[in-house]
Amino acid sequence: MGDVNFVPGLAGVVAAKSAIGFINGQEGILRYRGIRIEALAEKSTFEETVYLLLFGALPTAAELKAFDAELRAVRAVPDGIIDILRSLPDGGHPMVALQAAVAALGTFYPQMDVTDRDGNRAAALRLIASMPTIVAAFDRVRKGEDVIAPDDDLSHAANFVYMLTGERPDDQVSRLVDVCLVLHAEHGFNASTFTGRVVGSTLANPYSAIAGAVGSLSGPLHGGANERVLHMLRAHFTDIEKVGEVLGGMIDRKEKIMGLGHRVYKVKDPRATILQKMAADLFESHGSTPLYDIARTLEEEAAKRLGAKGIYPNVDFYSGLVYEKLGIEVDLFTPLFAISRVAGWSAHWLEQLEDNRIYRPTQMYTGETDAEYVDIADR
């Protein structure tokens, strides 16, 4: 096996061709279907971004209106899904509940024949439209509150906030959540997207593929990082005057600093730059918090100590602070990420099916090669 090229984590290994997302980590560039993320965050909406990701081009006004209507029509989930959510322990993590509910959707809306393009399109739209409903419903169920039905008069982002809180958000909050959804919608061959494509490559039904992606996203090294940023700030950075000292200690002990650094970006994550500006506007209009001030100080100190190594804030660094300010529970941060990323997952799933080949990498075997079986009486 000496000639096998072993690459831990598949770092740098090209596993597929894709026309969906492009990342230049050296220059901090992210594009969806060729369009810079900065332009989409400024000018687009999540609904329009979903259309772009799924179908490869920006829609006309008429196409977008029709597509938006399609999404709104499939936001509701069957009563059986709500029953499943009610049967789960209140203390369970929402990502586990989301994964279970997404998989269960496949029993209500079977799409086993993935050669059926119309059926695939319908499944992708249903997944994108209904995941906010599932997340909001589980949060309300676990709190003993009534589940709120979708409001078809609201945008995708505003409707999620409404189903979660029971209050229609103002324009600033709606737009902020909408931009957050745009920023998280796609990011190349990340772990969860790769997971979804691997499952999809077996020709499994779309609900299984997306449920697999949800499970992958739940890990603390992936989507769960935004939760851990807040936990880290609260646990270690309690005094703004000692941020530099605490950071230095963590660096010396080689501890992981959540929200700083990225496997791809060697400069500041462009999504973090966008989100930081919107966070500043939010905290200025709705009041700042000590944790936000500490986070800004931490970024400044980290730039001095780690910038030369290409370690800068990623999108998780500020997203949790924004979500918390909006009154969203900490353990809903990653489900909110999933509500957005399902757009990219669905686009990749559809792309995978266009020229499918099942993923079957090899391994480097490191075990014994000539072991003998020992009868149980002699062990």
Task: Tell me if 312 sits within 8 A of 250, measured CB to CB.
Answer: no
- The pLDDT-based confidence of 337 (bands split at 50, 70, 90) is very high
Measured N-to-C along each axis, helices 117-142 and 79-87 cross at an angle, to the nearest 10 degrees, of 40
Which residues are within 8 A (CB) of 98 and not within 5 positions of it... i.e. 6 or more apart? 131, 134, 135, 138, 214, 335, 338
Quick one: average pLDDT of 339-353? Answer: 97
Count how many Cα atoms sit within 13 Å of the Cα of residue 193 in the half-sphere of its side chain: 24
Quick one: average pLDDT of 80-87? Answer: 97
Which of 60-64, 103-107, 257-261, 362-366 has the least mean pLDDT? 257-261
Which residues are within 8 A (CB) of 116 and not within 5 positions of it... i.e. 6 or more apart? none
**Percent residues over pLDDT 70 in the chain:** 99
In this structure, CATH architecture of domain 225-325: Orthogonal Bundle (1.10)
Quick one: average pLDDT of 294-322? Answer: 84
Instruction: Name the CATH superfamily housing domain 48-169+177-218+339-354.
Output: Citrate Synthase, domain 1 (1.10.580.10)
pLDDT at 2 over 60: no
Cα–Cα distance between 33 and 312 in angstroms, integer? 25
Q: Of these residues, 316, 355, 375, 378, which one is catalytic?
A: 316
Which of 45-59, 209-223, 345-359 has the least mean pLDDT? 209-223
pLDDT for position 232: 87
pLDDT at 3 over 80: no
- The pLDDT-based confidence of 129 (bands split at 50, 70, 90) is very high
Torsion-angle region of residue 30: left (phi > 0), alpha (psi -120 to 50) or beta? beta
Active site (annotated) includes residue 116: no
Task: Tell me if 99 sits within 8 A of 207, measured CB to CB.
Answer: no
pLDDT at 294 over 80: yes
Task: Tell me if 125 sits within 8 A of 71, measured CB to CB.
Answer: yes
pLDDT at 1 over 50: no
pLDDT for position 147: 97
Q: Which amino acid is at 172?
A: Q
pLDDT, mean over the chain? 91
Which of 6-15, 121-130, 338-347 has the least mean pLDDT? 6-15
Q: What is the DSSP string of 228-285?
A: HHHHHHHHH---GGGHHHHHHHHHHTT---TTB--SS-SS--HHHHHHHHHHHHHHHH
Quick one: average pLDDT of 44-70? Answer: 98
Enumerate the domain spans of the chain.
48-169+177-218+339-354, 225-325
Active site (annotated) includes residue 262: yes
Q: Of these residues, 178, 262, 269, 348, which one is catalytic?
A: 262
Torsion-angle region of residue 377: left (phi > 0), alpha (psi -120 to 50) or beta? alpha
Quick one: average pLDDT of 57-83? Answer: 97
Supply φ then ψ for residue 36, to 5 degrees: -60, 140
Give the three-state DSSP class for 375: coil
End-to-end CA distance of the chain: 31
